[in-house]
Structure 1
Amino acid sequence: MKIQIVACDIDKETPAKSYAITVDGEEHELDLCQEHARPIDELIAAAKGETLPEPAKAQAAPPMQFTPPSPAPRKTAASAEQKPAAKKRGGRRPKITSMEEIEAAKARKAQD
């Protein structure tokens, strides 16, 4: 997932609107907050014959706080009564036989 936040090019405030202004064939792209975009919005409104409402007193949003995750609780040593019995590891190992034992087993098998 991708999140894109547009901030004012002048003071880095958010939220901001993107404006594309063309002057004598030269295009300028600006991202402006409400305060810095006000003169442009007033020009556009005047050209349309409208008036803009007075800006409301800006209430600063509380700064976002980063709260790190709390550490995992530490495991304490359990008493012998609480611990499960230890598992045996490995199991049955294969019998190791020498070449002489193998040849002797073959000879016995051939006699039977």
Structure 2
Amino acid sequence: MKIEHVVCDVCHDMPVKTYRVTHAGRVRSTDLCEEHGKPFAELFNDGYEEARPPRAARTRGGPRVPRVTTMEEIEKLKQDRRKP
């Protein structure tokens, strides 16, 4: 069994968070403990602890209402489709 521990890139302490930074098309990631990751955490501390949940998709019109169809209507639709 192999166990891997991710440690801070600066002081080798645990636990850590992985920060990913993009600049001018280049991406870098670093693993930092709470102390060394504080500048990143403060940079994004805008009053939201977690990301906001996605909004529900908008739909056209009102709520969907299921259509009730009788067996006779279904059979008629089948026959109409078979006719050339």
TM-score (norm 2): 0.52
Quote the residue 1:21 is aligned against.
21
**Structure 1 stretches of 5 or more lacking a match?**
53-112
SS of residue in 1 equivalent to 2:5: coil
Unmatched segments (≥5 aa) in structure 2: 50-84
Tell me the secondary structure at the aligned position of residue 42 of structure 1: helix
Match of 1:6 in 2: 6
Aligned ranges 1:22-101 → 2 under 5 Å = 22-45=22-45, 49-50=46-47
Structure with the higher fraction of residues in strand conformation: 2
Contact 1:16–1:32 (8 Å) recurs in 2: yes
Residue identity matched to 2:47 = E
Instruction: Letter of the 1:50 partner, please give it.
Output: G
| Contact persistence 1:42–1:51 (CA under 8 A) | no
User: What's the % identity of the aligned pairs?
Assistant: 39
Say how many residue pairs are matched: 49
TM-score normalised by the chain length of structure 1: 0.40
1:35: how far off? Answer: 0.3
- Runs of 4 or more, structure 1, over 2 Å off, are none
